[in-house]
A and B are shown apart, each in its own frame.
Chain A
């Protein structure tokens, strides 16, 4: 069973950027879309955007347009999510997740373990 392995905990200053990685263990992404979802402490889930690593096509939630960039490195089968101009409200657990049927429309069947990002001066 494929698992998604994310990079570790980050602590960042307001105004800086963070880049979180997501890589499948024991396999490649193949043609599955990978999305990013975040969850602030005690809050609900928020979809940020996603990418199809094979076609390198990304789309983003309107809320994060211009501040988030999702990229894929096919040589290492790694997907990255970079969030810029960080503010305290960006403190959250960031998850990567795989689109169940290749694209994201039908939900996410495999999730990473989550990466805690804390934004604090």
Chain B
């Protein structure tokens, strides 16, 4: 079973700053089936990125995903107030990483 680790656990940033979130897999992720989600308190997760780098429908272009194999990155180019949330990566539609909380500094 592939285990995902995310870093950092918490990211403290100000609106307008750039956020870089990392997701590392214990083995290569098949065909780069790596997805990123955003979750706010009391809400279901929202799909941001699929296939490691493709934005889901309606997702602003300040969100971008890169990476392949075992190392993946989610970048938020300029943080908007609504972007402060927890972000999870997921591989092959199964296991999730533990999450990265992006909080207001």
Q: Which residues of A contact B (CB under 8 A)?
A: 33, 35, 37, 44-47, 50, 61-62, 95, 97, 99-101, 103-109, 111-114
User: B44 contacts which chain A residues (CB < 8 A)?
Assistant: 95, 97, 111-114
Whether the pair B99, A44 counts as a contact (CB closer than 8 A) is: yes
* Interface SS of chain B: loop
Interface residues of B (CB under 8 A from A): 1, 30-31, 33, 35, 37, 39, 44-47, 50-51, 56-57, 88, 90, 92-99
Contact of A108 with B93 at beta-carbon distance under 8 Å, contacts A44-B98, A44-B99, A100-B56 already known = yes
- Of the candidates B1, B45, B96, B97, which one forms a contact with A62 in the assembled complex, judged by CB atoms under 8 Å apart? B1
Complex Cα spacing A44 to B26, Å? 18
Q: Which residues of B contact A44 (CB under 8 A)?
A: 88, 96-99
Knowing A111-B44, A114-B44, say if A104 contacts B93 (CB, 8 Å). Answer: yes
Residues from chain B with a CB closer than 8 A to the CB of A111 are 44-46
In the A-B complex, list the 7 residue pairs whose CB atoms are closest, starting with the nearest: A104-B93, A107-B35, A111-B44, A107-B50, A45-B96, A105-B33, A106-B50
Q: Is the CB of B93 within 8 A of A46?
A: no
Q: 12 other contacts beyond A45-B39, A107-B47, with CB at 8 A cut-off?
A: A33-B93, A37-B45, A44-B99, A45-B90, A99-B93, A104-B93, A104-B94, A107-B35, A108-B35, A109-B47, A109-B56, A111-B44
Task: Say yes or no: A100-B88 contact (C-beta < 8 A), given A47-B94, A108-B93.
Answer: no
Q: List 7 A-B contacts (CB under 8 A).
A: A45-B39, A61-B95, A97-B44, A99-B93, A106-B50, A107-B56, A109-B47
**Considering the chains assembled together, what is the distance between the CA atoms of A47 and B56 in angstroms?**
20
CB of B44 to closest CB in A, whole Å? 4
